[in-house]
Each structure stands twice: as structure tokens, then as C-alpha cells.
Chains A and B, each alone.
Chain A
Amino acid sequence: MAKFKRIFTYVFLSAAAIVSIFPFLWMIVSSTNRSIDVTQGRLLPGNYLGENLRKVLDTVDLIPALLNSAKISITTTLLAMLIASLAGYGFEIYRSKAKDTVFSILLLSMMIPFAALMVPLYRMFGSITQTMPFIGIDTISSVILPTVTTAFLIFFFRQSTKMFPKDMLEAGRIDGLSELGVFFRIYVPTMKTSYAAAAIITFMSSWNNYLWPLVVLQSPEKRTIPLLISNLGSGYSPDYGVIMTVILIATLPTAIVFFLMQKHFVAGMTGSVK
């Protein structure tokens, strides 16, 4: 019986692992094959990766899309870390009844679906496009601003701050640091792992964000990676080799970040529910 259970466990987990990895393997293999081989179900690596890459660079605006995505994701991550950690720290260190109430109200925003925000946000940005073109529709700022502050991240930093040794702050104050000085010189350096976890989660969701950029970015040269892939995928006579190469390149940044910092990623995901 125990032996049967053992075998079942391995068979089941192996099947689950194969199903999970298979689409990735197929993507990688297909990026090395011609479109015709992909449609014929070839599952062995070919030697067309170079040609696919050349075709990608010739026919797809991959580099501008990568740059747009990088600009948006990096700015979003840096700003999000600053705003959310200041707030999470503020809510926990300077706790008061009024702030606890404000905090609970902020948490309500987690229940609001983005689909409900999209239309009014689009109108908001539309109405300021004339007067402030730099943050209006079709700008990088209009992508970043609504997504940069999330109650989830504030909550995450507040939870992490609970673990922070408070006497370190007192020591800083006695040494003559201002409140902001204590935050930047003592809190930030000691909370490196929390920042790493939060940064990965934020970077990934920003890099992969689709709906809001789809609504707000209208000119083709402003396209981010998800918009580019979606656009390629909806073509009538797709070149599978080329598309898989694009998806492969677009997935690499997040895959590398994930494999380098898997522990932090999981900590960021589960940290706030503990």
C-alpha cells in the first residue's frame, strides 16, 4: 500500500510537472524551427533560431517595445517601492486610531476590479491630455500613474515592518537623525529582503500588464511587449517561428529575475498573508 502510494505520488507529480513545463519547451523548440515545421508538429530543436531572430528584427518592432516595457516597469517598480514602503512604515511606526481607520479604507481598494476603473480613468486622462500632454493619453506616465500605488504593497510593507526591531529607530533618533533620516538610513538598508520581494512582484506585474496599456497607449511606437505579442498573435497568417522567438525574448527578463530570486518571489507572494 505504502509502495503504491509512493509510485502514485511520483507519477502524479511528474505528470503535473510535464504539463506545466511543456508549453515552455514547445515555445523554445518552436523558436528554433521554421513556421511550416511548427505547424507540422515538429518537437525537435531545429537550427533556424538565427534566421527567426533576423526576421524578428526586420519585421517586428521588438526593440522599441522592449525599451517601452523596460522604462515603464523600472519606473513603476522604483516609485512603487518608495511610496508603498513610506506608507507601510508610517502606518506601523506612527500607529494611531485615525491612521488605522485610513488604512482599512485603503484596503477596500483591493476589492475594486480594474475593469471598473478603466473607463473613468480613461476619461480622466483624456480630459487632461489637452492641458498636460505629458501625462495625458498615450504617454508612459499615463500607464504608470494608476498602477504604481497598490493597497497590496502598502499592506505588505506594513506587515514586514511589524518584524522590524523598533529599538534601532530609537538609536537612530538619539544619534540625531531626523524621522526621514531614520527611514532612509536605518529602515531601508535593514529591510533589503522585503524590498527585493516586493520589487520582483511589482516588476513582473508591470512587465506583464496588458489591459490598461491596451486602453491608454494608442500609437504603435508606444507599444509595450504584451501589446506587441497580442498584436502578432491575432494575425491571420502567423509566422509561428517568429512569434515564438518574440515570446521567448519577451519572457526571458521575467524568467531570469524569477530563477535568480525565486525565494524572494515566493516570500513576496505569501509574506502578506502570514
Chain B
Amino acid sequence: MREAKALNIKARTNVISWSFISVAVIMICAFYFYPMIQALIMSFQSGTGTNLSFVGADNYTRLLTDSTFMTTLKNTFLYLIIQVPIMIILALFISVLLNDKDLKLKGFYRTAIFLPAVTSLVAYSVIFKYLFGADGLINAMLLKLHLIAAPIQWITDPFWAKITIIIAITWRWTGYNMIFYLSALQNIDNSIYEAARIDGASAFTQFTKITVPLLKPIILFTSITSTIGTLQLFDEVMNITRGGPGNATMTLSQYIYNLSFKYTPDFGYAATVSYAIVILIVIFSILQFKLAGDKNG
């Protein structure tokens, strides 16, 4: 009798314990996993709007010959290869400077450099669009300082438009990444640096031989989140350049948006492009883990 009762209580607690996590599990399944399965099915379908029919792997072959897709892929890679390393090195550098215990105004510097990370992506994009306009403030200042002879077409020239996007993203996210490094740096025992100094290690050696290896997990974390973020880049490009001129700054996310909601809707093909992003994210994450692991061994 008593054993049955104990079992009963155990079963009851088990039910209660699962009910704690049930809402979250249902929500994640409904709004992440179920749509992903839907997208997979849709990626083998084609048609306009909701009239979809199965076309086999047609969408995937179309992907390989789609010049707009290739352009957006190239743009995204360019942002990834140039912007992410610049930002991470800059953030690391700033956080090392800020970690100096004798530094005055530390709180001010930290707050100021972190401030961009709390602004709305749309709001800052619009501000940047005006600052970098052909007759905007940046050009006016550069002209006044005689650094340039003629205004730079920051928004309308294919090359400079990409630079503008890179500057904008770097401005927005450097402080964000810096905070992660700073909180990790504070956990490093200062005596390690003192020992290195006694051994005659230069600041640069200390940085490459102590700081970077110790921060490796957090650098890995930030580079993965930055990579995922860049692969999903949308708000900035949409609001600064609209993807233009032509498709010169268009990203994968924006292409999916255009395929679904701007051009004649082709949800099937849009789903195919979105799987391209998923695959890229998986590949890059594995790659970054591998790279970080190799240096360990």
C-alpha cells in the first residue's frame, strides 16, 4: 500500500515537473521547429502566393544559377570576412585598454562605447543614412578638413555603400562585444601579467600569449554570434541603402524578404534561400569550433 502511494507521489511530481517546462517546449516547437519543417517542405514547392505545388529539386538547381542569390551571398561573405574580424580585434583592443586598473574615467569610456549597443537598429540606420548622405555631415566635415576633394557617394556608389554598411555595423556592435571581453578580463588573475612582466614580456606578447588564449572561449562565442548576426543582416541594409545601388549591398535575409513580400511572392523559392542560410550557419559554427579546438591541441 505504502509503496503504491510513494509511487503515486513520484508520478505526480514527475507530471508537475514536466508541466513547468511544457509551455516553453510547446512554444519553441510551434514557432521554431514546426515552421522549419514547413520551410523544408516548401523548399521543394513552387508557385505564386499560396498556390504551391511540388517541383522536386528545381528550387535548389535554380539557386545555383541565380545571379541575385550569388550577389547577396558574396555581399554577406564580404561583410563577414571584413567586418567581423575588424570589430572583434577593435573590441578586444578597447577592452584591454579599459581593463587597466589605473585608468581614470573608466566608467565614462565604458558607458560611452557601449551606448550604441542599446539603440534600435532602425533608428541608428536612419541616422547613419543621413550622416553619410552625399551632402551629409560626414562629407561636409571631410571636405572642410581637405581630406577629400569631392563628396564621396557613401550610399549610391556600389563600393562605398558596402563600406558605409561595414562602418555602421562596426559602430553598433563593437561596444556590445567589448562588454563580453571586459567581463572575462576581470576574471583573469592579475598575477599572471605581473609574472610575465617580470619575465620581460612586452605588452604585445602579453596580449597574444596570455589575454587571447585565456579569452578564447568568449572570443569563440562572440565570433559565432557575430557570424550568425551577419548572416541574418537585414535592418541596416534595408534602412540605409535599401539593398542598393542595384543589388550591391543586398543581404540574404533581404533577398528572402524581397522574394516573399516585394516581388511576386514565391514562398517556395524563398524557403530554399532560407535553408541556404541555415546550412551556412551550421557550417560556420562547426568551422569556428574546429578552428578554436585545433589551436588547443
Interchain CA distance A10-B120 in the complex, whole Å:
29
Interchain CA distance A19-B138 in the complex, whole Å:
12
Q: Which of A109, A115, A225 gathers the greatest number of chain B CB atoms within 10 Å?
A: A115
Q: Are B282 and A9 in contact (CB under 8 A)?
A: no
A25 to chain B, nearest CB (A): 11
Interchain CA distance A251-B120 in the complex, whole Å:
7
Residues 199-240 of chain A, each 1 if its beta carbon lies under 8 Å from chain B, else 0: 000001001101100010000000001100110111000101
The yes or no answer to B39 lying at the interface (CB within 8 A) is: yes
Q: Which residue of A lies closest to B224 (CB)?
A: A111
Q: Are A119 and B24 in contact (CB under 8 A)?
A: no
Q: Are A115 and B253 in contact (CB under 8 A)?
A: yes
The yes or no answer to A262 lying at the interface (CB within 8 A) is: yes
The residue that A9 contacts in the complex, of B36, B38, B100, B123, with Cβ under 8 A, is B100
Residues of B in contact with A, size category: 35 or more
Q: Which residue of B lies closest to A254 (CB)?
A: B118
Known contacts A20-B116, A26-B131, A258-B118; is-contact A230 B24 (Cβ 8 Å): no
Q: Are A116 and B277 in contact (CB under 8 A)?
A: yes
Interchain CA distance A99-B109 in the complex, whole Å:
43
Interchain CA distance A62-B280 in the complex, whole Å:
39
The residue that B253 contacts in the complex, of A106, A113, A207, A208, with Cβ under 8 A, is A113
Q: Are B238 and A230 in contact (CB under 8 A)?
A: yes
The residue that A262 contacts in the complex, of B111, B137, B238, with Cβ under 8 A, is B111
The residue that B35 contacts in the complex, of A120, A180, A215, A270, with Cβ under 8 A, is A120
Known contacts A179-B13, A211-B257; is-contact A251 B119 (Cβ 8 Å): yes
The yes or no answer to A5 lying at the interface (CB within 8 A) is: yes
The yes or no answer to B281 lying at the interface (CB within 8 A) is: yes
The yes or no answer to A84 lying at the interface (CB within 8 A) is: yes
Q: Which residue of B lies closest to A22 (CB)?
A: B131
B269 to chain A, nearest CB (A): 10
The yes or no answer to B171 lying at the interface (CB within 8 A) is: yes
Residues of A in contact with B, size category: 35 or more
Interchain CA distance A188-B285 in the complex, whole Å:
35
> A interface, by DSSP: helix, strand, loop or mixed?
helix
Segment from B60-68, B79-87, B227-235, B287-295 that makes contact with A? B227-235
Interchain CA distance A117-B36 in the complex, whole Å:
6
A11 to chain B, nearest CB (A): 10
Q: Which residue of A lies closest to B102 (CB)?
A: A6
The yes or no answer to A134 lying at the interface (CB within 8 A) is: no
Known contacts A83-B24, A113-B274; is-contact A146 B98 (Cβ 8 Å): no
Q: Which residues of A contact B281 (CB under 8 A)?
A: 111, 113
Known contacts A90-B17, A149-B24; is-contact A115 B126 (Cβ 8 Å): no
Q: Which residues of A contact B130 (CB under 8 A)?
A: 38, 238, 240, 243
Q: Are A21 and B115 in contact (CB under 8 A)?
A: yes
Q: Are B35 and A121 in contact (CB under 8 A)?
A: yes
Give the 9 A-B CB pairs with smallest separation, nearest first. Answer: A90-B20, A94-B17, A87-B24, A116-B274, A233-B126, A149-B27, A120-B35, A17-B112, A115-B253
